[in-house]
Every structure is written in structure tokens, then in C-alpha cells.
Amino acid sequence: MAENAARAAELGAPVIDLNFGCPSKCVNKSAGGSYLLQFPEQLYAIVSAVRAAVPSTVPVTAKMRLGFEDKSLAIENALALEAGGVSWITVHARTKLEAYRPPAHWHWIGRINDAVSIPVVANGEIWTVEDALACKAESACDRLMLGRGALARPDLPRLIKGESEKVLSWSEMKLVFIRYAELLIGTGLPVQVAGRLKQWLAFLQKGYAEAALLLKEVRRLKCPDEICVRALAS
């Protein structure tokens, strides 16, 4: 990992972010992602090696969950990451075993925030402006990371920051979706590109009822161009 981080820095990476939060089975069965949260000393060894391999001008950061099967090592893991030299920690407020099932335990992020002296970024189950405010209050974090919430409502970061109260309409969202499709076409087989488009529609349906109807209509389509045509007509 240190060698790859050094190479990434050589190629111009502005930050090296280490993901110890991935709950994917294929990642965890290879002793990666959240699996490593069972071994704080291993987290420290990895972070230390990466930090030593990367120029001091390039921050090394890390994302973690609250644990693998339980939360007993949450604070110890965060302290190991801090001792290893990360500039900040992003905490997804669930264990690997909890996957993406609600609720997210934001108060645990607050416990980690109290235990370390570096910035902590709160993550998990932030779908609305109200969720963001509640998460900030429970975690005592000013910084948030949005994942699925930003895929469901791409304007959510702007709304949380108070830059605008205008919600992105479906007609506006369709244009963003089409632009995304245009950028994807040619990057893989048509069926692969179509799969990516349907994947995003699956997230968008949480924020837009029209996306749910469109997804139902295009599930069998393998042509991205045809999906775009259906989107424009919806």
C-alpha cells in the first residue's frame, strides 16, 4: 500500500485516502476494508508505512466504520489511525455487520471526536438537510461526508450549506443524468454503461418518484442511448 500510495502521489494525487470502512464481502474476504478494524495494530502499521512513503505536502487520511462485528474497538482504532499520522478521519457510524441498515449511530462519532485531536468527518444515513443538522448535533462534527444521500439528491450538499433553498426539479435532474450518460458512453460495453445508469437511477428513486418509474421501465434495456431517450421523455 505504501508503494502504491507513493506512486499515486507521483502521479499528482492531492490526497491519499485509506478506506478501512468498506463492508463488501469480496473486499473483506481478502482481509481488506472493515475486516482490518479487528486489528488496531495493523491499522497503525499500514497508515505509518503510507505516511512515510508519501511527501509531507500530501495529506494521508482514513475512513473507518465503528467496528467489524461490534463497536468495542472503535476508539482504539481511531487512536491507531491518529498515531499512524492521518490528517483526519471520516467515520461511518455503523459496524461492518450493520452494513447500511438504519439507524446510523452518530453519537459514537461524537465519542471518537472527543478521543482524538485531529478533525473527524461524520458519515452515514444523511439523506436530508434535517438529517445533516441532527448528525452535526449528535456527533459534534462540523464536517460531513455524503455518500448515498448525494446520489439520491445531487443538490443536497448545496442545500445543507445553505447556498440555496431551491430544490433541483426532476426536469433539471434529467439533464444532469443525460450528461452523465454522455460522459459514460464509450467507457465500456453498452450493457456495462446501461448498468451504471440503472444503478444511479436506483439511488435517484429515493429522491425522485419519476426516477422510480423510469427505472421500472428501463430495467431490461441494455442500450444506454435508449435509456437516455426514455429519460428525456419521462
Query: 120-141: per-residue pLDDT in tens?
Result: 999 999 999 999 999 999 999 9
Same domain, 66 and 14: yes
Same domain, 143 and 225: no
Q: Assess whether pLDDT exceeds 90 at residue 175.
A: yes
Distance CA 76, CA 98 (A): 19
> Active site includes 22?
yes
Same domain, 23 and 128: yes
Q: Where among 126, 160, 194 does a domain terminate?
A: 160
Same domain, 123 and 207: no
Same domain, 70 and 100: yes
Domain membership of residue 229 as a residue range: 170-233
Query: Which position among 22, 135, 141, 228 bears the catalytic label?
Result: 22
Name the percent of the chain lying above pLDDT 70.
Answer: 100
Residue 60 neighbours by CB under 8 Å, 6+ apart: 5, 15, 16, 17, 18, 47, 50, 51, 54, 85, 86, 87
In the predicted model, what is the mean pLDDT of the chain?
A: 96
Query: 178-219: per-residue pLDDT in tens?
Result: 999 999 999 999 999 999 999 999 999 999 999 999 999 999
Helix (H) or strand (E) holding 40: helix 40-53
Q: Assess whether pLDDT exceeds 90 at residue 234.
A: no
Q: Where among 120, 140, 160 does a domain terminate?
A: 160
Same domain, 75 and 183: no
Q: Assess whether pLDDT exceeds 90 at residue 165.
A: no
Q: Note the pLDDT of residue 34.
A: 97
Q: Where among 120, 136, 160 does a domain terminate?
A: 160
Same domain, 151 and 43: yes
Helix (H) or strand (E) holding 53: helix 40-53
Residue 120: all three cell numbers together: 473527524
Could you give the number of structural domains in the chain? 2
Same domain, 94 and 187: no
In a domain, 165, yes or no: no
Query: 21-65: per-residue pLDDT in tens?
Result: 999 999 999 999 999 999 999 999 999 999 999 999 999 999 999
Same domain, 35 and 122: yes
Distance CA 106, CA 112 (A): 10
Q: Note the pLDDT of residue 164.
A: 81
DSSP E strand stretches across 72-184:
89-92, 120-123, 143-145
